[in-house]
Amino acid sequence: MRRVDGDEHWRTLRSVNGLVRVYTHLGKYDKAETLCKEALDVTKEQFGEDPVGPLRTINVFGVLRLEQKRYEEAEKLLTEARDKRQTTLGFDHPSTLESKHELAVLYMKQDRYKEAERLLLEAIEGRRLKLGDTHPHAIESWNNLIELYEAWDKPEKAEEWRSKLPQTETADE
């Protein structure tokens, strides 16, 4: 890995996590996993017993495992990130809300709709309050809740939430 700011600089680690997300999205899981493991080693070494340091990487690793359909591992990682973020950052911190959202996506993929619903409702409410109704992360959770209700065969709930979805400006407007 080439790093402008050095191996242990927080900007480097943040960039590596972003690259892991890109590789994950592209389905390049081997590259994503190699980078993620390396970043996790660096953050654990750098932050020691500080529980907050490696949490972003742990969350990213959980998303990678989710996309690989390694659900048991994904749940362990995403739950750890959520629980530690709640304890150290608070229930309504954007990072905690991110972990809740990702854990809800995992539950959706496992047809654990009730658990997913609870977490998505928490993520939507928190993201709306912290980031605003039209923030992309709030909209992301909103759309996932609509998808959840459609998968759960609750079209009336999906339509209810679809009607509440804030309209955002597009590039064409």
Please write the tens of the pLDDT for every residue from 112-144.
999 999 999 999 999 999 999 999 999 999 999
pTM: 0.85
CB 127 within 8 Å of CB 141: yes
CB 123 within 8 Å of CB 161: no
When divided into structural domains, the chain yields a total of: 2
Same domain for 98 and 54? no
Give pLDDT, residue 17: 81
Counting as low any pLDDT under 70, the low residues of the chain are 1-12, 48-52, 168-173
Cα 131 to chain centroid, rounded: 15
Give pLDDT, residue 56: 86
End-to-end CA distance of the chain: 41
Domain boundary among 49, 68, 89: 89
Give pLDDT, residue 15: 81
Give pLDDT, residue 100: 97
Give pLDDT, residue 102: 96
Same domain for 154 and 78? no
Same domain for 82 and 118? no
Hey, what amino acid is at 31? K
55: closest CA among 65, 46, 44?
44
Q: What are the percentages of helix, strand and coil residues in the chain, rounded to 5?
A: 75, 0, 25
Task: Give me the domain span that covers residue 45.
Answer: 1-89
CB 80 within 8 Å of CB 56: no
